[in-house]
Chains A and B, each alone.
Chain A
Amino acid sequence: MSLLQVKNLVVEFPSRHGTLRALDEISFDIAPGEILGVVGESGAGKSLTGASIIGLLEPPGRIASGQILLEGQRIDNLNNDQMRSIRGRKIGAIFQDPLTSLNPLYSVGKQLTETIQAHLPVSDQEALQRAIALLQDTGIPAAAERIDHYPHQFSGGMRQRVVIALALAAEPQLIVADEPTTALDVSIQAQIISLLKNVCKKRGAAVMLITHDMGVIAETCDRVAVMYAGRIAEIGPVHQVINHPEHPYTAGLMASIPDMDVDRERLNQIDGAMPRLNAIPKGCAFNPRCPQVFDRCLNERPDLAAVSRSGQNTPTQVACWLHHANTLEGVS
């Protein structure tokens, strides 16, 4: 059974000029221990998806319809107190900037033991032992001494390790990591990504990894969801999506990334920019930028549909009329 199920999630922002639909019928699920990548450009709705799951949607944003289920239980309609007992205990969160996700006035040990004791019935001494073990697990040298240090005494990479330790403190089954390495340098990024992957594997925690970096996705995830203008354009096994992108947007995105192995005079570019929320075109949201657009794309909105390739037991799902034509109504 899936650990997390998101069903037809719609997030709306009421505004003076009408209601803006930031997430439009998002559906996906995460299996226990799985790493799902969520990729897309700024404004695609990646972070909003994460925020909806951990119940930290900023007002006036609200879940207008749809459901979020954790282990089969709805969590999207819980009140703040109920959500608090789930956040941290069942779902951990890691954010982009480690400096703003730690309290500068408390030592990291205080922050860790507080989190542990808020969720688990353990003594002070045991909480401290657990906190030290967590810091060791996340690769902080001399953890027993550094536990009394304050966030400003750690470097950026070390701080992100503390944040990971904090997210893991109450042994959640799901970690929502929103751009955990974007603020870090490449050499540190590599350390943090492999740390995240290893500690989650060790504890059997599933991860929803939100990032705009396809390279990080390729290296870390089992499956990937590509988002565009508040919708999922394509979702499937990571090697499948990267090597055989089915959606023209995914294909364009992959081709626009400079390649370390191939010399090209010009990069392939997707002309234009992602539409603003108040100007999402009718039909497929990608149609103004799509090189393969045809009549149907302008009027009807495509839903996710499986594209089966031979030898694939988990097929890629794509929201594109090109593939609907091939799979459903195509040549018999």
Chain B
Amino acid sequence: MKIENLQKGIDQQDILQDINLTFKQGEIVGLIGRNGSGKTTFFRSLAGHYELDQGKIFINQEDIQINKILRQKIFYIDEQYNFLSSYSLNKLLFFYQHAYAGFNKEKYLSLTKKNKLHPHLKYRAMSKGMQGLYKTILAICSNAEYLLLDEPLDGLDVIVKKNVLGILLDDVSENNRSIIISSHNLNELESIIDRALILKHTRIQLDYHLEALRENARKIQLVFKTKKVPTLVKENSQLLHFQGRVITAVFENYTEELKTLIQAEQPILFEELPLTLEDVFEANLANKNEVNSLGGVIL
């Protein structure tokens, strides 16, 4: 799927701007942003629930706004506005079978049976966890190529969460689907996604491939003799915080050469700390706003 220059505003307010992205098959992508950052708007725009103000979306080089049958390749259930609640699972199966030509009924039946989701059960009579599980089952059984999952783990207990993740992971290893998961919880997603997109201020601010990031980035605590931070450090890192003389910084492209150069500045303390995704995002996002005020402190 290729998204070109997508733009969407609601009530004269820009929600999404300049979105240019490509999703590959077999990829699990995390869409990360705070509440109100536009994650749901992004999904609704892709799924065709909203008309785009600008931009195009292609699947296999075909424009999905023109060839509407391509919508079958996208699965999305709106969290707020959906029709599920008053129907029984049996009825929902019937609907989804008609909506998605490639619907895998066998898999649906075996998964619902395994998880004790009875066909006569009403959707609204199920617990939140059960609903979450059921939506995941619908998603993978639809056989759509692109699954857009809006906070699929939100509000689920640990056991259901593991179950949902397990179903998704099984599915990606078997089928070449791409799964786009939105969340505001980085820790939850850290081990399962290939790629993280950070949505902030109406734009995709960052696009990381996580294994590369883990390989190249380091979080380092430093203390120098003088209060001045060497320019070398300032140029190559994002400063997380200061505590007196102690500087904690994230170096996104950490190399042996850089290490030698830093050591040449003779720091009193030089220690690598465990780096989590959250550090990287905090470093980047905080810096965008506060670069000036931080700069003042350094000098």
Are both chains from one complex? no
